[in-house]
Each structure stands twice: as structure tokens, then as C-alpha cells.
Amino acid sequence: MNYFRHIDNYKEIFFIPPGEYSLHSSKEILSHSLGATLYINPLKENLFNNILVQKKLGANTIIICLEDAVSDSNVAIAEKNLIETFIEIETKLSKDEISLEDLPLLFIRVRNVNQFDFCLKNCPKSALCGFVFPKFTSSIGEMYFSKLEKYNLENSAHLYGMPILESYEILYKEYRFNELIRIRDILKKYNSYVLNIRIGGTDLCGILGIRRGIGDTIYDVVSISDCISDIINIFKTQGFVISGVVHEYYDIHNIDVLSGLIKEVHLDIINGLTGKVVIHPKQVNIVNSLYVVTYEDYIDAKKIVDSSSNGVLKSNFNNKMNEVKPHLIWAKNILLRAKIMGVLNNGFTYKDILSRSSQL
């Protein structure tokens, strides 16, 4: 699969088109390929068809959520629908009625360790990329990843886990540092199975009784911004990929909503986050388009990486200095993102992608 095949005049926009990747790509590629990660409710009618439709509209990563999206009274129904959907996927794959290329990267967000056990035992997994572990803390983290490792080793599989950091132990400063260090040590132990670290912005806000407004970003909420900063500081320095929090507002025809989402994604990128949780299909193409590398960033990054010196290089665009040593990691990250998301032609922006999207 790759990004943006659903839009018109695909090739004229890109200097370098988005690259191909698949369920079986390397961890490095997959961890940077999640893009706009769409949550889907397992109680939806005809879940299988909905997954296919969203993939055609640009959602290359989908999480089927058994946690917050499902009330306690509907858990059994949701589990049944989930299992039946993956059985249907497995059947259609075996009959060559669909291929893995027709499907997005699929994840299951479980409610707890017991439900994780249930899914490992009962859910067909040939099209599954991994699981999402909510309310992830040091007290339960080892259980999740030890079970995941055990399943993978016993079944010659390679399912991934994505923890969500969203508990009070992570929010409250008096606990945060020690808790993040403990979680970091668990994730380092199971590093080969950790695809991405996610941040539960809504839950963290909820602990404090805070909700950002329509045009606000999560970074305007100083207590949450402070928390995100510490998560980046502790985990990104260890090579973990971290994604941006969900943006709750999705009426993108409201200029305040649209500008708030765009600003938040820009701030995600500036702060080194990769990809973003989305709760509505209308958010997908906006988020993904903002992760496409600009022509200027690509040329600067390539010049830095290709440089044989350790000094300062003048940008080809005569507007900045490129310093090889401090900018080298940034440049390598840009080239990796370019490999996956593509590079815009000179003079093109994310708006050119959105204007050609049938979803807007």
C-alpha cells in the first residue's frame, strides 16, 4: 500500500511519490507509516465493508476500539462482531477475493489484559498488525508485553503493541518522572514489539476536568503540554516513535475547527511526533497531507545527509543555514518520512493534496 492513491492528478503533485509498504515491512518503516490512525467502533454494521471503504478513502491505518467506544453492556456484542469480521477477512484472503493490499494496517484496542487474552485466543490474525494497550502503566505493562512476546514466539508471529500513556501516574508531576522511567524500562525490554507510543490527550485532560476549545490545540493546555514534553524527552531519546493526540473536533467546514487541527498537526511535527489519532474520516486526509515532506525540507535534508563536512552549509533556498552536526538527526528523519509520505513538487503544499481529495 501507499498514501494518496485515492486523489486526482496524483503524480503532478509529487517530486517523489509516496513509497510502498505493507503489513510485513520492517518495524522502522511501519512505525513511521501509521499516519492518520482512524478509530472505528466494532459495533458498526458491516464492519468489514466499512474498513474497505475507509481504506479506499485514504485511511491506511485503522484501530478497532473495544475500549472507550463500547459501553459495558455491549462488550460481548462488540467482541462477537470483531471476531466475525476477522473471520470474514481471513476467509476472503484465503479465497483470493481480497489481498492484504486492499486492507489498512489493522489494530485492536483492548479494554484490559483479560480481553487481550480473549483476542489472542479467538481472533484470526493473518491481517492483524497488532494491539493497542490503553491506560498503560508500569504495573500492567509487563503483563501485556510478556503475553505478546509469548504468543509471537510460540506462533512464529510478529504482532506489535502500542501502549497509550493516559493515566494519572503520568499526568501528576509527583509521580510522572519515576513512572515514565519504569515504563521506558519495560518498553526497552520488549523493544522489538513496540511499534509506537501513543498519548491519551482526552483522558489526561479529563483527569483535570479540562477540555480544549474548538480552535485550541492540545499544546495550549499547559498541563498536558508539559506532560507531552516529558514523554518526548524520555522516550524519543531512546528511539521510540511517539504519535500525536486525538483532536476532538471534526467539523472541518468550520474554519476554527480546521485551523485548530492544522495548527496542532504542525506543532506535533515540530515537536518530533509521528502520525496522529483521528476519530472521524474527514480528519484523515488533512493529517496525512501535512506529513508529506516539502520540496525545500527534502533538498535541505539531503544536502545535510550527503555532506562530507561537519560544518555549516548554505541552503539552496538562500533563506537559512544548515548545520550538519545539529541538524543531522532531523535530516535523516525527514528522508525517512519522505520515503513513506513522499515529497511535494516545488511550489506545492498540503492544500494541493486536499483540493484534489474527493473526501473534502
CA distance 141 to 160: 14
Using CA atoms, how far residue 222 sits from 134, 203, 235, 273, in Å, is: 23, 15, 20, 18
Q: Is 251 annotated as a binding residue?
A: no
- DSSP letter (8 states) at residue 42: T
Can you say whether the dihedral through the CA atoms of 332, 333, 336, 337 is positive or negative? Answer: negative
Residue 100 and residue 145 in contact, taking contact as beta carbons nearer than 8 Å: no
For residue 294, what is the DSSP state?
A: P
State the burial class of residue 155 (Cβ atoms within 10 Å of its Cβ: 0-12, 13-18, 19+): exposed
CA dihedral (298, 303, 305, 310) positive or negative: negative
What gap in Å lies between CA 293 and CA 15, rounded to an integer?
Answer: 10
DSSP, residue by residue, 133-165: ESS--HHHHHHHHHHHHHHHHHHT---EEEEEE
Closest alpha carbon to 282 in 320, 252, 237:
252
Give, for 50, the enclosing helix (H) or strand (E).
helix 47-56
C-alpha distances (whole Å) from 105 to each of 6, 17, 24, 287, 297 are: 17, 20, 10, 17, 28
How far is residue 256's CA from residue 251's CA, in Å, rounded to a whole number?
A: 9
Structure-block grid coordinates of residue 158: 510478529
DSSP 70-138: S-GGGHHHHHHHHHHHHHHHHHHHHTTSS-GGGS-EEEEE-SSHHHHHHHHHHS--TTEEEEEESS--H
Residues in Cβ contact with 253 at an 8 Å cutoff, skipping those fewer than 6 apart: none
Residues contributing to the annotated binding site: 203
Residues contributing to the annotated binding site for Mg(2+): 203
